Chains A and B, each alone.
Chain A
Amino acid sequence: AQTVTQSQPEMSVQEAETVTLSCTYDTSESNYYLFWYKQPPSRQMILVIRQEAYKQQNATENRFSVNFQKAAKSFSLKISDSQLGDTAMYFCAFMKFNGGATNKLIFGTGTLLAVQP
């Protein structure tokens, strides 16, 4: 069974600063995907960034980037130039590879990020 662990329940960052959210996971699968999802207060969850396990290059999406360490089973999210709109709960999630289709997501417990003005 796969597990996802987020050890930082809450974090705070000043606007325009950089923050890193941690995530570790456990799996015996060799082919999988990792995701960071954002859940703003009272709004629906949206995908922030995705990493395929077979890719060595870390994914980036504008101000968001990941540090994927496959051997260490670590998948951290770095948010640069933090903005007030980044305030949200962030979930790390694991998905087993399933051919050409999505599969169920296994989520961590989340990190509540507050961006301070």
Chain B
Amino acid sequence: DTGVSQDPRHKITKRGQNVTFRCDPISEHNRLYWYRQTLGQGPEFLTYFQNEAQLEKSRLLSDRFSAERPKGSFSTLEIQRTEQGDSAMYLCASSLVLAGVYEQYFGPGTRLTVT
């Protein structure tokens, strides 16, 4: 068990370009969450999956954002036509659906800079 991993760790892109981030959760975890953290703020919820089903999306997730978890394992978050306001740390977390288990395990994040 190597924990939650995210790739890439850093991404610099020009405004208008598309970017995709990947998250690999802890292997047996069936819930996967995406959060966004801007400078000086706490993480804000974007969306989450249980297995391959996307169960909730925040209103922060505009139509330029799309997330997938095709086989219930890793997940991708794509941002189309990036804007400078998309610059943030994107965090992934995973958890096990089991009575009495309430901890989400976080990855190191992907820091996006849009120039």
Q: Which residues of A contact B (CB under 8 A)?
A: 4, 6, 33, 37, 43-47, 50, 91, 93, 95, 100-102, 104-110
Known interface pairs A102-B31, A107-B42; 10 further A-B residue pairs with C-beta atoms within 8 A, sorted by A's residue number: A44-B106, A47-B104, A50-B103, A93-B42, A100-B99, A100-B100, A101-B31, A101-B50, A102-B104, A109-B40
Contact with A along B48-63 (1 / 0, CB 8 A): 1010000010000000
With a cutoff of 8 Å between Cβ atoms, the chain A residues found around residue B106 in the complex are: 37, 44-46
Selected contact of B107 from candidates A37, A44, A107, CB within 8 Å? A44
6 inter-chain pairs at a CB distance below 8 angstroms, sorted by A residue, are A6-B42, A44-B106, A50-B103, A93-B42, A104-B33, A108-B42
Question: How big is chain B's contact interface, by range?
Answer: 20 to 34
Assess A100 versus B42: contact at CB under 8 Å? Given A43-B108, A45-B106, A47-B103.
no
Q: Which residues of B contact A (CB under 8 A)?
A: 3-4, 31, 33, 35, 40-45, 48, 50, 56, 91, 95, 97-104, 106-109
Selected contact of B109 from candidates A33, A44, A100, CB within 8 Å? A44
With a cutoff of 8 Å between Cβ atoms, the chain A residues found around residue B42 in the complex are: 4, 6, 91, 93, 107-110
**Nearest CB of chain B from residue A55's CB, rounded to whole Å:** 13
With a cutoff of 8 Å between Cβ atoms, the chain B residues found around residue A101 in the complex are: 31, 50, 95, 97-98
With a cutoff of 8 Å between Cβ atoms, the chain A residues found around residue B109 in the complex are: 44
With a cutoff of 8 Å between Cβ atoms, the chain B residues found around residue A95 in the complex are: 102
**Nearest CB of chain B from residue A49's CB, rounded to whole Å:** 11
The residue in B43, B91, B97, B103 that gathers the most chain A C-beta atoms within 10 A of its C-beta is B43
With a cutoff of 8 Å between Cβ atoms, the chain A residues found around residue B48 in the complex are: 104
